[in-house]
């Protein structure tokens, strides 16, 4: 086990599940629990529930269940150890290195070394910018309207043209070539020599939310291609998981992030007075970037370039952010300018006026549809109506929906009742699709039915019931042994629970959390968490039913095996063995009959 039980217990105790989930999902109080849209499957009607009392979550749509550790594992797409580290960092808990295995220690050591060489590289580039060799690069930044205070604030720099100076500088500081390669700072040539990845480029250090330098963007000052060059994917840098400027923007008092495309857009707006600007490091937002936004802010303004590529990127980002239940607005910079260019030419006050005239998600889509379609043509008018009605069907606010229905009715020159009828068809479709998702997931995942709609394998159900009420182990003791369980994964869980309860000990789900380190066991735990969330109390009757089903399953397997052995004995002509097996078969069939008649 990589971490002690004490460390895992403390991490769970100091990370309230409602607080953690609220960083990703908009939750509303619903009775004793909280409810929101599930982050693990697409839905329009909230079916994702979080219990503060039990410190568990459960989705009644896709059946995802778990605790705060499994939530982070799934939402951040990380392993058990990374999730524990994530939560420990969030709670300010120090995890001592002696708790790490040799492999984990090496991985952590590599990350720490990459953070350090990136920090040194950023300082090196910044110092080089202000050397006698950086005059052209400084003039380029000054011409773009960037002053010295902002240059220092963002740590902007310059990579030397000869492609060897950073490599030699870091080598002199005793960093291995392997670390420099894995950091993405140097490359190996065909001749076997090494050289700097970035040459003669203005450098933009990319800093994460914890203030680590995780990578770089480099921009040429002329027409050389590619115009921008980024650090490749490394163990610390995943382009689709971070946002440029998030280290500053997360601190803004505004409950809003303005998302732009490029480094210069973000820097120009920040220098103008907006401290809540980030850049998406590309043209298309990812789900991980959306979740990062959700951790800090509830409202988003997208201000991408007004060219065709920027518009397409905006549309993709809008749909993604909408699914995360963020308040989405779109700022369209006029005349095809990007935010950086607009601020330089028109001034900051002009941009602030644009911020006051943003479009909502629906408004932006309506404008986009009207621009792409000719409403004079009947066929295009039909396309327009269907596209807009599909979007309006997702609106929960009836007042807003009525306003947009009126607009669409006038645009398409058809009665409002016709628009409403079309919207109703889409609403019915969404509901029907949601039912299909629930039905499919339910039948694929489960095979034994208890408590109405829940279908959980009996052994998993029994384990969950024992975690709810340890005293019920007296109904199990002597009837089921962990040694009789064939499923090795469940055997490990059952053995741990049975051993803890054998002499009157205590065990709860928190005690089992270390087992989530095993990917196969993590999958098994989903159903156990499902029962723990859904059951308000455990009864002797359900425990007895579970025990009976487990024994029946064991007898069925034994009967099937004996029948195969009888066939083999018959074919081999071994009459004596066949007679013995028939006696055993008769015994098990009698036991099965007694259980059924119970």
> Given phi > 0 = left and psi -120 to 50 = alpha, else beta, which region is 484?
alpha
- Could you tell me which residues are beta bridge partners of residue 65? 58
Please identify, among 357, 378, 405, the residue that sits at the C-terminal boundary of a domain.
Answer: 357
- Extract the tokens encoding 413: 């020159």
Whether a cis peptide bond, with omega within 30° of 0, leads into 309 is no
Asked whether residue 150 falls in the same domain as residue 18, the answer is: no
- Contact 123/243 with Cβ under 8 angstroms? no
Q: What is the spatial distance between Cα 528 and Cα 318, in angstroms, rounded to a whole number? A: 36
Q: What is the DSSP string of 418-482?
A: HHHHHHHHHHHHHHHHHHHHHHHHHHHH--SB-STT-B--HHHHHHHHHHH-GGGGGGTTTT--G
Asked whether residue 534 falls in the same domain as residue 588, the answer is: yes
State how many domains the chain has. 5
Asked whether residue 310 falls in the same domain as residue 278, the answer is: yes
Look-up: residue for tokens 């773009």?
A: 144
Asked whether residue 141 falls in the same domain as residue 200, the answer is: yes
CATH code for position 205:
3.90.980.10
Q: At what angle do helices 361-372 and 398-412 cross, to 10 degrees?
A: 10
Domain range spanning residue 528?
A: 446-598
pLDDT given for residue 298 in this prediction: 86
- Extract the tokens encoding 383: 């396309």
Asked whether residue 12 falls in the same domain as residue 153, the answer is: no
pLDDT tens digit sequence for 323-346: 777 888 999 888 777 888 888 888
Q: What is the spatial distance between Cα 565 and Cα 560, in angstroms, rounded to a whole number? A: 9
CB proximity list for 592: less than 8 A, separation 6 or greater: 552, 555, 556, 559
pLDDT given for residue 308 in this prediction: 61
- Contact 578/566 with Cβ under 8 angstroms? yes
Q: What is the spatial distance between Cα 511 and Cα 506, in angstroms, rounded to a whole number? A: 9
- Contact 351/358 with Cβ under 8 angstroms? no
Which SS3 state, helix, strand or coil, does residue 217 take? strand
Asked whether residue 189 falls in the same domain as residue 253, the answer is: no
- Extract the tokens encoding 60: 């009644």
pLDDT given for residue 278 in this prediction: 96
Asked whether residue 472 falls in the same domain as residue 588, the answer is: yes
Which SS3 state, helix, strand or coil, does residue 61 take? coil
Asked whether residue 137 falls in the same domain as residue 18, the answer is: no
pLDDT given for residue 126 in this prediction: 97
Residue 236 is classified by DSSP as S
- Contact 493/515 with Cβ under 8 angstroms? yes
Exposure class string for 474-489: b at 16+ Cβ within 10 A, else e? ebbeeebeeeebeeeb
pLDDT tens digit sequence for 212-243: 999 999 999 888 888 899 999 999 999 888 99
Asked whether residue 29 falls in the same domain as residue 164, the answer is: no
pLDDT tens digit sequence for 396-422: 778 888 999 999 899 888 899 999 898
- Contact 362/393 with Cβ under 8 angstroms? no
CATH code for position 561:
1.10.860.10
Q: What is the DSSP string of 473-542?
A: GGGTTTT--GGG---HHHHHHHHHHHHHHHTT----GGGGGGGGGSHHHHHHHHHHHHHHHH-S---HHH
pLDDT given for residue 215 in this prediction: 97
Contacts of the segment 140-148: beta carbons below 8 A, 24+ positions apart: 140/202, 140/221, 141/202, 144/264, 144/268, 144/340, 144/344, 145/268, 145/271, 145/343, 145/344, 146/264, 146/267, 146/268, 146/271, 147/271
Q: What is the spatial distance between Cα 79 and Cα 73, in angstroms, rounded to a whole number? A: 6
Query: First CA to last CA across the chain, in angstroms?
Result: 43
Q: What is the separation of C-alpha 7 from the centre of its chain, rounded to a whole number of angstroms?
A: 24
CATH code for position 14:
3.90.580.10
pTM above 0.75, yes or no: no
- Extract the tokens encoding 456: 């959980």
- Extract the tokens encoding 366: 């309506």
How many Cα atoms are found within 13 Å in the side-chain-facing hemisphere of 230?
A: 15
- Extract the tokens encoding 339: 């935010």
Task: List per-block mean pLDDT (blocks of 10 residues) for the chain, which spans 598 residues.
Answer: 76 93 90 90 86 92 90 86 88 72 78 95 97 95 94 97 94 95 95 94 95 95 87 93 94 91 92 93 80 88 71 71 84 82 87 89 87 89 90 82 90 90 81 46 33 64 89 86 79 87 84 79 82 82 85 85 86 86 86 76
Asked whether residue 480 falls in the same domain as residue 383, the answer is: no
Which SS3 state, helix, strand or coil, does residue 247 take? helix
Q: Phi and psi at residue 242, in whole multiples of 5°?
A: -130, 170
553, burial (CB in 10 Å: exposed 0-12, middle 13-18, buried 19+): middle
How many Cα atoms are found within 13 Å in the side-chain-facing hemisphere of 378?
A: 0
Please identify, among 207, 237, 267, the residue that sits at the C-terminal boundary of a domain.
Answer: 237
Asked whether residue 53 falls in the same domain as residue 91, the answer is: yes
CATH code for position 264:
3.40.1360.10
Asked whether residue 496 falls in the same domain as residue 590, the answer is: yes
Q: What is the separation of C-alpha 106 from the centre of its chain, rounded to a whole number of angstroms?
A: 26
Q: What is the spatial distance between Cα 304 and Cα 315, in angstroms, rounded to a whole number? A: 10
Q: What is the spatial distance between Cα 594 and Cα 396, in angstroms, rounded to a whole number? A: 56
- Measured CA to CA in angstroms, residue 391 lies from 69, 408, 499, 521 at distances of 35, 12, 55, 40
Please identify, among 51, 82, 98, the residue that sits at the C-terminal boundary of a domain.
Answer: 98
Question: Measuring CA to CA, which residue among 384, 530, 482, 567 is closest to residue 70?
Answer: 530
């Amino acid at each position: 086990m990589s971490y002690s039980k004490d460390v895992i217990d403390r991490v769970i105790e100091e990370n309230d599940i409602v607080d953690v989930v609220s960083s990703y999902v908009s939750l509303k109080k619903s009775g004793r629990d909280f409810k929101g849209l599930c982050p693990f499957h697409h839905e329009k009607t909230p079916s994702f529930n979080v219990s503060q009392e039990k410190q568990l979550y459960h989705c009644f749509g896709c059946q995802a269940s778990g605790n705060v550790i499994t939530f982070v594992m799934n939402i951040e797409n990380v392993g058990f150890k990374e999730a524990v580290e994530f939560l420990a960092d969030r709670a300010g808990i120090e995890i001592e290195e002696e708790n790490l295995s040799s492999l984990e220690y090496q991985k952590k050591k590599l990350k720490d070394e990459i953070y350090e060489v990136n920090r040194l590289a950023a300082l090196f580039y910044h110092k080089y910018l202000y050397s006698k060799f950086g005059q052209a690069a400084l003039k380029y930044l000054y011409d773009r309207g960037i002053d010295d205070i902002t240059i220092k604030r963002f740590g902007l720099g310059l990579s030397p043209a000869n492609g060897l100076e950073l490599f030699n500088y870091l080598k002199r500081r005793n960093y291995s070539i392997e670390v420099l390669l894995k950091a993405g700072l140097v490359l190996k040539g065909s001749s076997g020599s090494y050289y700097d990845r970035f040459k003669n480029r203005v450098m933009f250090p990319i800093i994460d939310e914890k203030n680590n330098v995780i990578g770089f963007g480099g921009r040429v000052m002329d027409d050389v291609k590619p115009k921008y060059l980024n650090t490749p994917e490394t163990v610390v840098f995943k382009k689709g998981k971070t946002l440029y400027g998030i280290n500053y923007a997360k601190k803004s008092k505004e409950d809003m992030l303005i998302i732009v495309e490029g480094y210069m857009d973000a820097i120009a707006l920040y220098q103008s007075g907006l401290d809540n600007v980030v850049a998406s490091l590309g043209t298309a937002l990812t789900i991980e970037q959306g979740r990062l936004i959700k951790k800090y802010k509830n409202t988003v303004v997208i201000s991408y370039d007004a060219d065709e590529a920027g518009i397409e990127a905006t549309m993709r980002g809008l749909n993604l952010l909408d699914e995360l239940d963020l308040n989405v607005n779109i700022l369209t910079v006029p005349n095809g300018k990007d935010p950086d260019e607009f601020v330089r030419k028109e001034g900051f006050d002009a941009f602030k006026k644009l911020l006051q005239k943003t479009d909502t998600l629906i408004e932006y889509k309506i404008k986009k549809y009207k621009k792409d379609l000719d409403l004079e043509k009947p066929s295009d008018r039909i396309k327009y109506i269907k596209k807009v009605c599909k979007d309006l069907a997702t609106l929960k606010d009836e007042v807003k929906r009525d306003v947009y229905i009126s607009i669409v009715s006038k645009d398409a020159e058809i009665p409002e009742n016709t628009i409403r009828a079309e919207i109703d068809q889409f609403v019915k479709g969404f509901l029907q699709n949601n039912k299909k998702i629930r039905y499919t997931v339910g039948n694929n995942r489960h095979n034994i039915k208890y408590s109405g709609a829940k279908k959980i394998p009996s052994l998993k159900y029994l384990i969950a019931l024992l975690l709810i009420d340890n005293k019920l182990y007296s109904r199990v003791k002597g009837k089921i042994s962990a040694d009789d369980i064939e499923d090795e994964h469940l055997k490990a869980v059952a053995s741990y629970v049975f051993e803890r309860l054998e002499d009157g000990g205590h065990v709860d789900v928190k005690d089992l959390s270390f087992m989530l380190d095993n990917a196969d066991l993590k999958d098994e735990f989903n159903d156990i968490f499902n029962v723990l969330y859904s059951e308000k109390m455990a009864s002797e009757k359900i425990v007895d039913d579970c025990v009976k089903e487990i024994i029946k399953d064991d007898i069925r397997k034994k009967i099937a095996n004996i029948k195969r052995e009888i066939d083999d004995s018959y074919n081999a002509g071994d009459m004596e063995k066949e007679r013995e097996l028939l006696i055993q078969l008769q015994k098990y069939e009698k036991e099965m009959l007694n259980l059924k008649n119970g």
